[in-house]
Structure 1
Amino acid sequence: MTVPLQLASHLSRRSDLVTLGVQGVIANAASEVLLVRHGYRPGWHFPGGGVERRETIDRALCRELNEEAGVILVQPARLFGIYTNFEVFPGDHVVLFIVEHWRQDHIPAANAEISEQRFFALDRLPRTITAATKRRLDEVFGGAERANTW
């Protein structure tokens, strides 16, 4: 279906729409954290993505982790926080989970969405890690106070 140009323009200006994304903090047995690098935006991020229409948050997290990193949840992830991300979009929210029980049966091949994934030691994070990702790691592992904004 093609959206008429006038309608598409109207929707892109709507400030009352709400978008929702999920991301997962995954650490391995060596206390290294899994980060991904996208093909369409700079920096290293947690694996995750958007919640689709008629999809639960838990299901979206499972789907995104498997698609982006080959990670399968063995037990439900633990909710860490819900953040606003209004700099990206006026109604954007990010739900962050701690993934403690997981397995990685395969590593997906690089593609247009995820160009690379890797585990990093907390004291050897990549230089191009995003500021928001670094702040979340400081909250999760460093005891920093949890913010409300991404």
Structure 2
Amino acid sequence: MSGDESNGRLQQRGWTQLRSRLFHLYFVLRRPMTLGVRGLVYDKPRDAVFLIRHTYVPGWQLPGGGVETGETMLEALEREVWEEGNIAFTAPPLLKSVHLNSHASRRDHVALYLIEAFSQETPKLPDHEIAEAGFFPLASLPQATTPGTLRRIAEVFDGVAPSPYW
């Protein structure tokens, strides 16, 4: 193993490292992008999905949120689904699609994961962020379910081609 390689990753040094960091800083400042995750938690025996209603935006939607600096998408998803639903993974979720969320910004992308293996020891109670949360049968989703949520559910369960847009 050469001195420029550690744990199978190429390590940059000197001018190469500085140039790489300067380019990265330029792109962050010039073209900032945000990344979010949403979890489609599916209770197969009940044919139901988990939805939340926030205190600060209208409609029922899938749990999720932003990926923080230094956090992987799976770490963010696990954190958000736990915070918003008291739901823990019992097996890895499946990445289903990635969408541009132009409603949030021209640079916001959202990754959708299907979560079929999970546990929820206690239902999520309302708090400062979550007004209501629960499982809803696919055949009778709440009337105020957001259009993006309805599209993602149709893409996963009805075979509708995934849209590149949220």
TM-score range, shorter chain: 0.7 to 0.9
Aligned residues: CA RMSD = 1.2
Instruction: Give distance in 2, aligned partners of 1:56 and 1:93.
Output: 14
- Tell me, yes or no, if structure 1 residue 104 matches structure 2 residue 123: no
CA contact (8 A) 2:125 2:133 kept: no
Of 127, 133, 149, 2:149 maps to 133
Letter in 2 for 1:68: E
Of 18, 28, 36, 1:21 maps to 36
* Rg (Cα) greater in structure: 2
Unaligned runs of 5+ in 1: 1-13
Q: CA deviation at 1:15?
A: 7.2
CA contact (8 A) 1:65 1:71 kept: yes
Counterpart of 1:49 in structure 2 is 65
- Tell me, yes or no, if structure 1 residue 73 matches structure 2 residue 89: yes
Counterpart of 2:51 in structure 1 is 35
Describe the superposition over 1:79-113 as per-residue Cα deviations: whole angstroms up to 9, x where unpaired. Answer: 00010001211110000000011101222321121
Instruction: Give distance in 2, aligned partners of 1:85 and 1:69.
Output: 23
- Give the TM-score taking structure 1 as reference length: 0.88
Q: 1 or 2, which has the higher helix percentage?
A: 2
Relative contact order (C-alpha < 8 Å, sep 6+): which is higher?
1
Unaligned runs of 5+ in 2: 1-28
Structure 1 runs, 4 residues or longer, greater than 4 Å off: none
Q: CA deviation at 1:49?
A: 0.8
Instruction: Give distance in 2, aligned partners of 1:60 and 1:106.
Output: 21
Letter in 2 for 1:18: M
CA contact (8 A) 2:124 2:134 kept: no
